[in-house]
Amino acid sequence: MTTQPAPARQPAAGLPLRPELAHEEPYGAPQLDVPVLLNVNENPYAPSEDVVATIAAEVAAAARGLNRYPDRDFLALRADLAGYLGRESGVALEAEQLWAANGSNEVMLHLLQAFGGPGRTAVSFAPTYSMYPEYARDTHTRWVTGRRAADFTVDVDAAVAVIEAEQPAVILLASPNNPTGTALPLDTVRAVLDAAARVQVPQAPAGQRGAVVVVDEAYAEFRREGTPSALELLADHPHLAVTRTMSKAFSAAGLRLGYLAASRELVDALRVVRLPYHLSAVTQAAARGALQHTGSLLAQVDALRAERDELVTWLRAQTGPSGARLVVADTDANFALFGTFADRHAVWQGLLDRGVLVREVGPDGWLRVSVGTPAETARFKEALLEVMGDLA
């Protein structure tokens, strides 16, 4: 099987496109019709019939009122999300401390719209999620990256030095990090928060200090036992926002529902930049329906976590084409970053030729594989051994 490239973006044909967009391509991982899809960190299990029935009933009820605009502030959904986070992480939150949008991508864009902008800087630590610089670009926010350590952790002293030098308005920390799966200790987050509190943000009101720190916990439900959530720090840090998504743990990537928890003041700032009625009545209804089944859905997460740990152990026992053992980054997510390969594209293509799609992302030499069903994982293992044997 060969790669089917996406159609090239057509030139602007004289349109007054913003200069910094002239050579940009749309974001997106390859979408190919192959038997085993392990490239975009989806939950491999479709919603159960019980979940589908509840969502269908909630959406049907919402459909009877589609002649009216949706609840602009969706407080019922926000209360459901607050209740879920209380059960999942043991942190009590009010509905007004929650915010939601069409995927965590839109939540992140709201954050950069509210706190970034011309004359301001956003900082993160690479390798990390490749959409972050696009949020900055789209909001005319200057983008700066520090570097992670060789094991993909964030070095506290180096991070604080970058923050002090750049004086950013927004600091983005992914935990677990994508594409590495690395979770951040709370002491690291606290150190970043302390440094952020000393930042003098350009154009901020006189006498006010403090950058906004965003901890992106899109994969938090997959974290290993004993790994804390940054939600535990919210009460003492009004400039902290913790983002989550229903795409992964809730088997709801097609729903497009991301959300965050923060202080009421921070959430109110996001209400200023959101588009009117940005969250449809159908989306609100479907999300509330799924949240009624957190018990069964999180039981699937337990199974995926066990499958991930077994996959990491297996990968670390394999010998790559170079004769060296494969290396796998410690992961608290539903994927594993593994390598290293002298020609990772050849490995990626070899897997694709055998009907298995993984992601060619992250530092050179590494590949990322999502955790699938046991059958999908078995096919990945078989294909990987064949490819490495051919390349040895």
Predicted confidence at residue 87, as pLDDT, reads 95
Of the given ranges (78-82, 125-129, 203-207, 385-389), which has the lowest mean pLDDT? 203-207
Number of domains in the chain: 2
- C-alpha distances (whole Å) from 326 to each of 160, 168, 304, 360 are 32, 37, 22, 16
Dihedral sign, Cα of residue 7, residue 257, residue 267, residue 124:
negative
Does 270 reside within a domain? yes
How many whole angstroms separate alpha carbon 347 and alpha carbon 55?
A: 40
**How far is the C-alpha of 141 from the C-alpha of 123, rounded, in Å?**
10
29 pLDDT band, cuts 50/70/90, is confident
Domain holding 101, by residue range, is: 51-292
Counting runs of H as helices and runs of E as strands, what totals does the chain give? Answer: 11, 12
Q: Per residue in 350-382, pLDDT tens?
A: 999 999 999 999 999 999 999 999 999 999 999
pLDDT at 6: 56
CB 357 within 8 A of CB 32: yes
The answer to whether the pTM exceeds 0.85 is yes
Residue 9: per-residue pLDDT: 60
Asked whether the beta carbons of 214 and 111 are under 8 A apart, the reply is: yes
Chain Cα centroid distance, residue 98? 17
Any idea what the CATH number is for the domain that residue 213 is in? Answer: 3.40.640.10
**Average pLDDT of the residues of the chain:** 95
Task: Tell me if 357 sits within 8 A of 30, measured CB to CB.
Answer: yes
* Same domain membership, residue 249 and residue 137: yes
Q: What is the pLDDT of residue 121?
A: 98
Which of residues 292, 310, 340 is at a domain's end? Answer: 292
Total Cβ atoms within 10 A of residue 92: 13
First to last CA, the chain: 21
Q: Final residue of a domain: which of 292, 327, 359?
A: 292
pLDDT at residue 338 is higher than 80 = yes
* Contacts (Cβ under 8 Å, ≥6 apart) of 282: 59, 62, 63, 66
Q: How far, in Å, CA of 187 to CA of 136, rounded?
A: 27
Per-residue pLDDT tens digits for 317-336: 999 999 999 999 999 999 99
The confidence band for 3, taking pLDDT boundaries of 50, 70 and 90, is very low
In a domain, 14, yes or no: no
Among 370, 322, 323, smallest CA distance to 343 is for 322
Q: Once rounded to an integer, what is the mean pLDDT over residues 277-303?
A: 96
> Is 95 within a domain?
yes
